[in-house]
Structure 1
Amino acid sequence: MNADADTFRTSRRHCLRIGVRSAAGLLAAGLFPGRFSVFAGSTAVDTGWSSFRNGPAQRGLATCTLAAQPEVKWELASADGWVAACAIAGSHVYAPALQGYLHCLDRATGNELWKYRSIDSTDEKKFAPGFKAAPLVTEQAVYIGDEDGVLHAVDRTTGKLMWKYVTDAEIAGGVAAYGDHLLLASHDSFLYCLGRDGQEQWKFQTNDRINCSPGIADHFTFVSGCDEHLRVIDLMTGEKVRDVPMESYLIASPAIVDEMLYVGSHAGDVAAVNWQTGNIVWRYQGERQMPYHASAAVTDELVLVGSHDKLFHAIERSSGKAKWTFPTKAKIESSAAVADERVFFGSGDGNLYGVRLADGKEVWKFNAGKPINAGIAIGEGCLVVGEDSQDGKLRCYA
């Protein structure tokens, strides 16, 4: 690729981002629910956030506490900003930048321990495909897809490349782990199942781009994308067992609670789907029917998600009715996270909000001054998220 093309691609990054933050938003980690460690053989409580939505059910629930009034502990600027959610595992933060670097940072200080580039070149003028998807962190590796469709397996200790797997289009969603296998989806319309060595086991083709991170329940996975269908796939065989027409293309990743699945659509509604039967139990629409690109956080009682209508919506899980809405001054594409009976999310208005679940009242706010569209990560007592702008800053709050 020539220098003019490199410059052109870089300049377009802040113009062509449909589906990036929410999908990146995006991934399931490990074989167990979010409160358990993704590391093989471990059943200890994991207080980190090692994937986009912190577990295979993709519910966006933290398992640690967070200060009542979190303060900025450190920050890191990147030329093209941050649109992907980070991962927090142990004493490290894994931060994917749109500039094409995956940064491994000390959680307490923000000091860089290593950084991995999406291309094998140290020439800063050479275009490097950016990371728009959140990383999956396991005991040995960090798995992350880039905007050119390459899945990178990076050694967690050294930051060195272990292997690559190439798809035919952008990877906007995160990787999911199931036993000894990895799941990932691509804009090339395929869902892929790989071994931990990067060898393809099977692949399933849909009819259009897939933006989401695949969720997992039992031995099934769930994918949704631009062909307006939600599909249930048997992980053992790679075969489709159910197909649910959704009547709109889907940018967000699904959240799963038992037999129910929750996902917002580009058409402007949030659907509750019984994935075992294929029945749509309810659909929620706000007063202004505008897109939902963020992935929902789901508690036992509430479905929590922001919209392009500038509102953050708390929806009763049982009835599909609004419990409360919270206004911001710009569209919301940031996928929220829940901790200590509060929900945290960013907005295009440049603010990071903390809102009480019980009544929708603001209990904390940080004005970054630049759009916050990436998904929130909360782990090990910290909240980490970056700004979606030129020279945007990644911040750690605790």
Structure 2
Amino acid sequence: MKFKSRLIFSLSPLAFVLAGCSTFNSTMEGWSSRNNKRTFEVKTAWVRSTTAEDNLGFRKINRMTPLLVGPLVIQGNGMDGVTAYDRESGNLKWRLPIVNGVEPSAAVIRDRLFFGASDGNFYSVEASTGRVQWSFPTKIENLSEPLLEEGVVYFLSGSNVFYALDAATGKQLWLYSRQDTAQFSIRGGSKAAIRNGVLYVGFSDGSLVALNAKTGNVVWELQLNHNKRFRDIDAAPVLDGDQIYIAGYDDKLYCVSADKGEILWRVDGGSYSAVTVFGDRLLYATTNGEVQALKKQNGEKIWSYKLKEGIPTQVKVFKGIVAFGESQGRLQFLDVTTGKVLGDMDPGRGILSSPQVDEKNNRVYFISGEANLYAIDAGWVKQDYFKE
């Protein structure tokens, strides 16, 4: 490395030496400062097709969030089943064929995996082997993520029937059915939330309903979305203390009292997915094609990022980084404080699944619209100025 100093020959010999040293030190300090700068890098660690055969027919929806279970990453697709891969190498560990595949995300506890499928059944599966423990017939496709709580699994079927099953045996404990007279509905379903023995779940008729977790009896219900087009509440309610954050598909984001079912505040812009609570902020992915950071206490906007096309998935936050997919675009990474773009990658055919983050290893997993499972390394790295 060469260091250049500008020498002024009219200076005394001492001044000459000091001037040269000063410039040398200044150059070194500048190099040291640059050397401490970091860049955000996004690299593909591996990618695997999750289907047993190439899909040459109608494009289906792939939106299950990958699950990290010990050394495995488990992924369902909307075509032919569920697969498990080694998290580090991407090597296939097991495959469970299911007719028409699995769309919604799954729940896991220890070595048990629970999910609803498009073949009209709800499954309990051994996560380490893919062996089915039991199945429960709903006789209709299942599109919502289940909730596990104290040995009971709760989920909403595609016919607006909400089930409570014994997680060990699959035995039905109770059900709650709700009619929807709308002609059109968004494909999806709300995952329930629970607090103090009360379940909160959204329905396709635009209602948020509180149910007794033991009996299924209604505690209160609140009609939120009155739109004539799509009234669906497919987003999961998010509990934060005594408040619930819940959104209708093409409606609004609501803050609701968990005890009484009263609306505390609302902001325009609906959503297909749940908000993400981060400190005093809400990260909100809207059906208007925006990701917004809002103040938790009143919904006031802090910053927003507008997609070029499509809608964003639910946001995940790790190490000050916001990660989400674009339904017709890329996997995006933003700064959580400012909303500034840090990096992205394009898997082709968009992303409908919320990403899964292995924060310890700065690795992000997601399934693309082509049913390919990606393992992406994303994070800050120090620049090396010795490399060309």
Taking structure 1 as the reference length, what is the TM-score of the superposition?
0.69
CA distance in 1, matches of 2:260, 2:373: 42
1:301 to 297, 320, 338: 320
Which amino acid letter does the alignment assign opposite residue 287 of structure 2?
H
SS in 2 for 1:358: strand
Q: CA deviation at 1:105?
A: 1.1
- Structure 1 segment 229-244 matched on structure 2, within 5 A: 229-244=252-267
Q: CA deviation at 1:313?
A: 0.4
Question: Aligned in 2, Cα 1:75/1:157: closer, same or farther, shift over 3 Å?
Answer: same
- Structure 1 segment 317-356 matched on structure 2, within 5 A: 317-339=336-358, 340-356=361-377
> Could you list the per-position Cα deviations for residues 43-88 of structure 1 after superposition, in whole angstroms to 9, with x for gaps in the alignment?
xxx9899xxxxxxxxxxxxxxxx84224322111111111011111
The answer as to whether partners of 2:198 and 2:210 remain within 8 angstroms in 1 is yes
The answer as to whether partners of 1:267 and 1:289 remain within 8 angstroms in 2 is no
The answer as to whether partners of 1:48 and 1:89 remain within 8 angstroms in 2 is no
Verify: 1:259 aligned to 2:280, yes or no.
yes
CA distance in 2, matches of 1:70, 1:136: 28
SS in 2 for 1:348: coil
Question: Aligned in 2, Cα 1:73/1:98: closer, same or farther, shift over 3 Å?
Answer: same
Equivalent residue, structure 1, for 2:108 = 88
1:203 to 221, 226, 246: 221
CA distance in 2, matches of 1:89, 1:48: 15
Verify: 1:149 aligned to 2:167, yes or no.
no
CA distance in 1, matches of 2:87, 2:60: 36
Q: CA deviation at 1:344?
A: 0.6
2:172 to 137, 153, 161: 161
CA distance in 2, matches of 1:16, 1:338: 24
CA distance in 1, matches of 2:377, 2:344: 11
CA distance in 2, matches of 1:15, 1:69: 28
Equivalent residue, structure 1, for 2:132 = 112
The answer as to whether partners of 2:65 and 2:367 remain within 8 angstroms in 1 is no
Q: CA deviation at 1:89?
A: 0.7
The answer as to whether partners of 1:185 and 1:214 remain within 8 angstroms in 2 is yes
> Could you list the per-position Cα deviations for residues 142-162 of structure 1 after superposition, in whole angstroms to 9, with x for gaps in the alignment?
101011100010111111111
Q: CA deviation at 1:25?
A: 6.9
Higher mean C-alpha deviation, range 204-213 or range 181-190? 204-213
CA distance in 2, matches of 1:303, 1:144: 28
Question: Aligned in 2, Cα 1:214/1:291: closer, same or farther, shift over 3 Å?
Answer: same
2:149 to 129, 138, 145: 138
Q: Which has the higher contact order (CA 8 A, sep 6+)?
A: 1
> Could you list the per-position Cα deviations for residues 302-353 of structure 1 after superposition, in whole angstroms to 9, with x for gaps in the alignment?
1110002320001110001111011111111011110132111110123111
Greater share of strand: 2
1:283 to 300, 304, 311: 304
Higher mean C-alpha deviation, range 300-309 or range 195-204? 300-309
Which amino acid letter does the alignment assign opposite residue 141 of structure 1?
V
The answer as to whether partners of 1:25 and 1:133 remain within 8 angstroms in 2 is no
Equivalent residue, structure 1, for 2:40 = none
The answer as to whether partners of 2:210 and 2:218 remain within 8 angstroms in 1 is yes
CA distance in 2, matches of 1:152, 1:211: 16
Verify: 1:274 aligned to 2:295, yes or no.
yes
CA distance in 1, matches of 2:222, 2:71: 31
Specify every segment of 5 or more residues in structure 1 that has no aligned partner in the other structure, as ranges: 1-13, 27-45, 50-65, 119-127, 361-398
> Could you list the per-position Cα deviations for residues 69-118 of structure 1 after superposition, in whole angstroms to 9, with x for gaps in the alignment?
24322111111111011111112111211112111111221111111111
> Could you list the per-position Cα deviations for residues 166-214 of structure 1 after superposition, in whole angstroms to 9, with x for gaps in the alignment?
1224771111111211110011110011111211101111122211011
The answer as to whether partners of 2:210 and 2:219 remain within 8 angstroms in 1 is yes
Equivalent residue, structure 2, for 1:129 = 140
Question: Aligned in 2, Cα 1:109/1:250: closer, same or farther, shift over 3 Å?
Answer: same
Verify: 1:316 aligned to 2:335, yes or no.
yes
SS in 1 for 2:376: strand
SS in 2 for 1:354: strand
The answer as to whether partners of 1:93 and 1:105 remain within 8 angstroms in 2 is yes
Equivalent residue, structure 2, for 1:370 = none
CA distance in 1, matches of 2:235, 2:323: 18
Which amino acid letter does the alignment assign opposite residue 238 of structure 1?
G
Question: Aligned in 2, Cα 1:205/1:48: closer, same or farther, shift over 3 Å?
Answer: farther
Specify every segment of 5 or more residues in structure 2 that has no aligned partner in the other structure, as ranges: 1-57, 73-85, 226-230, 382-388
The answer as to whether partners of 1:252 and 1:295 remain within 8 angstroms in 2 is yes
CA distance in 2, matches of 1:346, 1:93: 18
1:180 to 197, 202, 205: 197
1:222 to 237, 245, 252: 245
CA distance in 1, matches of 2:294, 2:309: 19
